[in-house]
Amino acid sequence: MIRRPDLPRGVTPLLAILAGLALGAGQPPLGWWPLVFVGVAAFTWIMTGRTRRGALGYGYLAGLALNTLTIHWISVLGPAVAVGLIAYSSLWFALLAVAVRELVRLRLWPAWVALAWVATEFVSGKWPFGGFAWNRLGFTTIDQPLAGFLPWLGASGVGLLVAWLSQLLLSRRWVLGVGAFAVAFALGAGLSLVPLGAPEQRVTVAVVQPGVNRHEYGGRNYARAVTNNALSATILAMAEARSGGRDVDFVLWPESASDHDPLRDERARRQVDLATRLADAPVLVGAVTLPDDPPDSRQTTGIWWTPTQGPVSMIHKRNLVPFGEWIPFRELLLPRIPMLRMIGRQSVPGETPGMLEAPTQRYPSLLVGDIICFELAYDDTVYDVVTAGSNVIVSQSNENTYAGTWQVPQQQAMNRVRARELGREVVVSTLNSISGSVDTKGRFLEATDEFLGASRIVDVPLRYQVTPAVTVGPGLARGATGLTVAALIVAACAGRRRARLERTSSKEVSHGG
């Protein structure tokens, strides 16, 4: 049990804010990861011995500080959207605070509190409306020694390790805490040295960053201009490849490179066809497609388009941004909040893993795993592209709305984390943000600059191995949730038992008097 002295009035709210800011400072772009351990430990210390109402309030205050610092970029959609998302996301920290307040009463409380952090991240990433799996502890680890555990434990497992080590900072046996940190960091550094093996086959990818015409943004010509830019950037990429004597296996366009459905719009189809013929190679097109059912809907789609057959396979984005790509309770909210009309057609999620059958001239049986933008935050979706058999992993993002904000380095870090935990290179194409490739050590290579049209020619190996993270990660997060619920039930029963004993003792003292 932690001993916490009484503090002067007004100090605890300040400490809660500082704890939240410390947690946020560990996220990109600041990346001050040592502060994450301090923030998690401070959060637990503050909640110890509080009333439920007090823990709820201080937890919410810490969440407000964290989320205001890290996801203020959503304000580009309007102040009301930012206020709503920050206020909602902070509720989870209020609930976590109440859970921590109960769990620190149990034996082995550092483990129970750590499990509660992972459980909160898991549930908040699932519910409601598909969740918002941002600001996870695992996403702060890519530039520290614990990153070596990512291929073995996944983002959830490494987040659990961060939360557990943080609790040891509160131990009265400080030698135990220091020793645990030293062992964990040494093991992580050692695991980083484990080789993956040298693959014999490689593919060459022309990564296209179309750039956007900022003066046309929001205008009726904008969507056409983006696809025109993608075609132009493809031409420049192929000129670079051929001048260097390199054969390109396929071309990667970003999410929303074609805002007109190339399966229905003849002009968009001609542009994609022309790109494949000029490249003499398939193009993985990020496109908005319009399904027949339900009406007035759309999907965010990756289409494998070959020079000879046209579109041969496609996948649809599964994790959609609520109030960004689709509107919950649309019939109720749309008439009352006119700003939501900017979202346009209601997006429909895909239902299958993001794996494309992707024949090329050299590799007719190539399988490409496609992770589209917001999906990077979701373990199950990311792991599915590997378990489905993909040999090459690509990441398509739009990010035009958030260019120049903190969202960009946060998503860049997610690409790096995913490459590390999957043991697979990730080829990244964005509309006008940061494109390039990430190696299996999590290093972003040949990064482009924001706001510019650009291209990169990258070579990546075909990979077939499945890291333990892909197998262990999902079960670990679900297991942490189940164990947390069980521990809270035990804590509640123990609390009632203590209350009964205190009442009995009080009556005996009163009777004896």
pLDDT in tens, 435-444: 999 999 999 9
β-strand partners of 429: 396
Angle between helices 52-70 and 79-103 (to 10 degrees): 140
Separation of alpha carbons 402 and 472, rounded Å: 33
Separation of alpha carbons 38 and 384, rounded Å: 34
Q: Which residues of 460-485 are buried (b: 16+ CB within 10 A; e: fewer)?
A: bbbbeeebebbebbbebbebbbebbe
Separation of alpha carbons 159 and 114, rounded Å: 9
| Residue 266 parent element (H or E) | helix 266-279
Boundaries of domain holding 49? 11-194+471-503
- Tell me: pLDDT of 220 over 80: no
**Whether residues 244 and 351 fall in one domain:** yes
Contacts of 78 (CB under 8 A, 6+ apart): 339
**Whether residues 175 and 235 fall in one domain:** no
Separation of alpha carbons 360 and 364, rounded Å: 5
Give mean pLDDT, residues 435-454. 96
Q: Is 332 exposed, middle or buried (0-12, 13-18, 19+ CB in 10 A)?
A: exposed
- Residue 497 is assigned to a structural domain of this protein: yes
- Residue 168 is assigned to a structural domain of this protein: yes
Separation of alpha carbons 277 and 366, rounded Å: 20
**Whether residues 460 and 475 fall in one domain:** no
Separation of alpha carbons 399 and 433, rounded Å: 6
- 340 and 327 Cβ atoms separated by less than 8 Å: yes
Which of 403, 316, 402, 404 shows the shortest CA–CA distance to 356? 316
Separation of alpha carbons 302 and 369, rounded Å: 10
**What is the structure's pLDDT at 218?**
65
The residue with greater pLDDT, 125 or 214, is 125
User: How crowded is the C-beta side of 1, counted as CA atoms within 13 Å?
Assistant: 7
pLDDT band at 4 (very low <50, low <70, confident <90, very high): confident
**Whether residues 120 and 80 fall in one domain:** yes
Coil, helix or strand at residue 467: coil
Output the six-digit token pair for 143.
Answer: 């530039």
**What is the structure's pLDDT at 333?**
80
Contacts of 496 (CB under 8 A, 6+ apart): none
**Whether residues 172 and 94 fall in one domain:** yes
- Residue 260 is assigned to a structural domain of this protein: yes
- Tell me: pLDDT of 371 over 80: yes
The rounded percent of the chain whose pLDDT value lies above 70 is: 96
pLDDT band at 215 (very low <50, low <70, confident <90, very high): low
- Tell me: pLDDT of 500 over 60: yes
pLDDT in tens, 308-335: 999 999 999 999 988 888 888 888 888 8
- 8 and 65 Cβ atoms separated by less than 8 Å: no
Separation of alpha carbons 114 and 165, rounded Å: 9
**What is the structure's pLDDT at 79?**
87
- 302 and 328 Cβ atoms separated by less than 8 Å: no
Sign of the four-CA dihedral 265, 266, 267, 270: positive
- Tell me: pLDDT of 6 over 90: no
pLDDT in tens, 22-57: 999 999 999 999 999 999 999 999 999 999 999 999
Q: Calculate the dihedral angle through the C-alpha atoms of 439, 444, 446, 447, rounding to the nearest 10 degrees.
A: 150
Determine phi and psi for 207, rounding to 5 degrees. Answer: -90, 125
**What is the structure's pLDDT at 2?**
80
**Whether residues 377 and 254 fall in one domain:** yes
**Whether residues 43 and 116 fall in one domain:** yes
Separation of alpha carbons 158 and 164, rounded Å: 10
Total domains in the fold of the chain: 2
- Residue 6 is assigned to a structural domain of this protein: no
**Whether residues 31 and 92 fall in one domain:** yes
Contacts of 511 (CB under 8 A, 6+ apart): none
**Whether residues 332 and 348 fall in one domain:** yes
**Whether residues 213 and 337 fall in one domain:** yes
Give mean pLDDT, residues 108-120. 97
- 288 and 298 Cβ atoms separated by less than 8 Å: yes
**Whether residues 176 and 275 fall in one domain:** no
* Domain at 384, CATH number: 3.60.110.10
- Tell me: pLDDT of 513 over 60: no
How many C-beta atoms surround the C-beta of residue 15 within 10 A? 17
The residue count for the chain: 513
**What is the structure's pLDDT at 1?**
64
**What is the structure's pLDDT at 510?**
61
Cis omega (within 30 of 0) for bond into 254: no
Average pLDDT in the chain: 93
- Tell me: pLDDT of 126 over 80: yes
- Residue 397 is assigned to a structural domain of this protein: yes
- Residue 1 is assigned to a structural domain of this protein: no
- Residue 357 is assigned to a structural domain of this protein: yes
**Whether residues 297 and 170 fall in one domain:** no
**What is the structure's pLDDT at 9?**
85
Q: Which of 48-62, 207-221, 421-435, 466-480 has the lowest mean pLDDT?
A: 207-221
| Residue 185 parent element (H or E) | helix 174-191
- Tell me: pLDDT of 217 over 70: no
- Residue 4 is assigned to a structural domain of this protein: no
The residue with greater pLDDT, 46 or 80, is 46
Alpha helices in 104-168 (DSSP H): 109-124, 150-168
Look at strands 346-347 and 297-306 and give their pairing.
Answer: parallel
**What is the structure's pLDDT at 338?**
78
